[in-house]
């Protein structure tokens, strides 16, 4: 049986609803693919606390962790990754790539154009579905109203 690695990722949104995407460096495992920044959950650690810790270590900033967006098990060659991705916001500092090759704010509609770590694909799809739902709500709110609406 392959071992299961518990990993948390953060979909950090800015005011324009762009998402912060991180490119894994050539020297990392799973090199040169995009991911949501985060990392492994330690024994006995709450996933939300692990995420705040990992983002401080990797990006040098502080986030607040919101709702769980996706909960995915993906079987890689080396292990099974249990990846939980949470919505998050910056509360202090600016993200800097301390370990990644690049950080990029990406509009939701452009997410599919990046080459993602395989475990992240269902998460990207979940984000797009949520983005569409929010757009639907906005369309209704912004629709011009007639007097008898
Ligand atoms: N942080 C993060 N990891 C992901 C994502 N998708 C995905 O498959 N992974 C994988 C890559 C790694 O195998 C594992 C996370 O471990 P990690 O971020 O601590 O990175 P690492 O493998 O470089 O760490 P290490 O083995 O050198 O200790 O989960 C994702 O969106 N975010």
Domain boundaries, the chain: 4-142
Per residue in 102-119, pLDDT (tens digit) is 999 999 999 999 999 999
Residue 85 has pLDDT above 80, yes or no: yes
CATH superfamily of 4-142: Nucleoside Triphosphate Pyrophosphohydrolase (3.90.79.10)
Q: What residues line ligand 1, using a CB cutoff of 6 Å?
A: 5, 7, 9, 28-30, 35-36, 38-40, 81, 83, 117, 119-120
Considering the entire predicted model, what is its pTM? 0.90
Position 147 scores a pLDDT of: 62
Q: How far, in Å, from the CA of 81 to the mean position of ligand 1? A: 8
Q: Mind spelling out the 3-state secondary structure of the chain? A: CCCEEEEEEEEEECCCCEEEEEECCCCCCCCCCEECCEEECCCCCCHHHHHHHHHHHHHCCEEEEEEEEEEEEEECCCCEEEEEEEEEEEEECCCCCCCCCEEEEEEHHHHHHCCECHHHHHHHHHHHHHHHHHHHHHHHHHCCCCCCC
pLDDT, residue 131, reads 79
Q: Average pLDDT in the 84-101 region? A: 98
CA 149 to centroid of ligand 1, rounded, Å: 51
* 27-41 pLDDT per residue, tens: 999 999 999 999 999
Interface ipTM: 0.90
Tell me what pLDDT residue 16 has.
Answer: 94
pLDDT value at residue 146: 64
Which pLDDT score, from 0 to 100, does residue 74 have?
98
């Amino acid at each position: 049986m392959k071992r299961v690695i518990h990993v948390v990722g953060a979909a950090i949104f800015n005011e324009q609803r762009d998402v912060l995407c991180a490119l894994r460096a050539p020297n990392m495992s799973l090199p040169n693919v995009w991911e949501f920044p985060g990392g492994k959950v330690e024994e006995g650690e709450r996933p939300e606390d692990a995420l705040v810790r990992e983002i401080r270590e990797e990006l040098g900033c502080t986030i607040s962790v919101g709702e769980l967006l996706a909960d995915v098990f993906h079987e890689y060659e080396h292990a099974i990754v249990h990846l939980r991705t949470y919505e998050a916001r910056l509360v202090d500092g600016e993200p800097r790539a301390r370990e990644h090759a690049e950080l990029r704010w990406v509009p939701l509609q452009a997410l599919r154009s990046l080459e993602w770590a395989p475990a992240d694909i269902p998460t990207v799809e979940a984000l797009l579905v949520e983005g569409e739902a929010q757009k639907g709500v906005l369309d209704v709110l912004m629709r011009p109203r007639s007097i008898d609406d």
